[in-house]
Structure 1
Amino acid sequence: MFDFAVSAPLPALQQSPEFAAVLTRFGRSPLRLDDGTLALKRGPCLMLSRFQTAVQDLPTQLAGVHLPILLNPDYSGPDLSQIGALPIVSPATCAELDLTGDLRAGLHQKWRNRLKQAEQQNLRVTRQNMLIEQDHWLLREDATRQRQRRYRNWPVALTCAFAETNPGKAKLFTAFADKTPIAGLLLLRHGPVVTYHVSHTTARGRHHSAQNLLLWTAMTWAARKGAQRFDLGLISTEDAPGLVRFKLGTGAKPRKLGGTWIWWPPLGKTLRPLAAWDAKLMRDGWTG
């Protein structure tokens, strides 16, 4: 069971000016609502991803929109059935690390032990701005893993565009044994937040706990640069329990998001009774 954090979140990557700049570069400029929330046209729908607008303000903010709207709140428990939205996917959980405290004190014991092991392996760690190369070994490994495991991350071109559009904000950390890269970690900076984007570890890297050393290096670097939060991405004990333990071992806290809903404003509150029933099923554990 997760002990969910309840502190107010800082804006997610999907709601950052840096992300908006990348979309604009691709000719997909997002709609910006009056409160600054970004909305992206996606197929026949408008999508608000990781937004923080209050439920009662959505009808005003989206007045005049006649497309179906996908709503993915960045906070838990929003009752979007109030405006007639229907839940379609139950809430996911993200892991967030507060970078303002004593980071080493927050490490779990096993994680700290692996870090100590890695620190004794004579590994060399480098930090650089991400090279704008679609054939970079880390991006290539990530694309291969996406195909093998049948999931989707950002396209390589979008990651390279982020690095090019936001100079100095895509940071690559690499661990070397001799001259051989054995682990890599790419994080994206946006405002007071850094987001865990892509990582890969070889068999040798796992043996040396290189990813612990890389993530620790990235955490302490981000804290020195004044970042307040490290967004470690989504976690799932069903799909990847080992990755959950790795991320939460840093002292990160799990935080439940608000699920995914669909809303068609022209219908108003017509579907509110059905929406309320579906929202109850979501709260009771329905997975869509």
Structure 2
Amino acid sequence: MIKPNRMLSASVLTIGFLFLYIPIISLVVYSFNESKLVTVWSGFSLKWYGVLMHDDELLTAAWLSLKIALMTASASVVLGTWAGFVLARMGRFRGFTFFTAMINAPLVIPEVIQGISLLLLFVTMQQMFGWPAGRGLLTIWIGHVMLCVSFVAIIVQSRVKELDRSLEEAALDLGATPLKVFLAITLPLIVQALVSGWLLSFTVSIDDVILSAFLSGPGWTTLPLVVFSRVRMGLNPEMNAIATMFITVVTIGVVAANRVMLARERRLTRDVQMAERNADPARPHVGRSASAQRGGEAGRRSTI
């Protein structure tokens, strides 16, 4: 008999998943709709994907958003890893409070304020130094990196705090340099956090509207801005088609990254267990039953 609490939990979980995924599923289904009306099904068709392939404005905006998202995610992981490592390992140095506030500020300051401040900064810099020459790829990228670094730093900080420092200290005692320890030991242990931060930064960047609206100029319109301007004129099945393509690409990427991380974690666990057995031959193998372990211990005591 199923307990009432378990039934309630399952019901709430099911309702939550339906609330989240039914709109996405309906969007994918209606991308194959033959009718121009996105809410009226008239038959299966791939014509909107064909129309999409000839829409230069939408394809150009999609490529620009994808390029900015890739650049943003990569830069955010590098800067965020450094910031998270400092927050987790360097202790309370002079200016620690100010540094922490600057890292966390983009998480609490509204994007409208960030967009206005960056716009004023770039305009002032252009008037004083002649750089940047207009607003485009570079300015959008800087704004997105500023926003995404905070997410990566928080993720890396929490992961670094959970690490067993004895592994790093043992490597230092054996003569490894701090850089070698970070690259050979610390980095592989936090790689899951880096992948998570990269994926989160990629998603935030490719989905951003507010910062992109402030920091983009003529000829540098991202995909969310194009979609937003077109949707205001009415829904179009072409939007469903490009959304379906992005959902497919992102899903494949997330599943592939998850499988790689799980395989790496299993391999790392197996290597650690093998190293422990080689270091201590008397240690019982993982997977042996409790009775077998007790029998082995009793045998060793009787031999002694």
TM-score band, normalised by the shorter chain? under 0.3
TM-score (normalised: structure 1): 0.25
Larger strand percent: 1
Considering only CA atoms, is the larger Rg found in Structure 1 or Structure 2? 2
Bigger relative contact order (CA 8 A; separation at least 6): 1
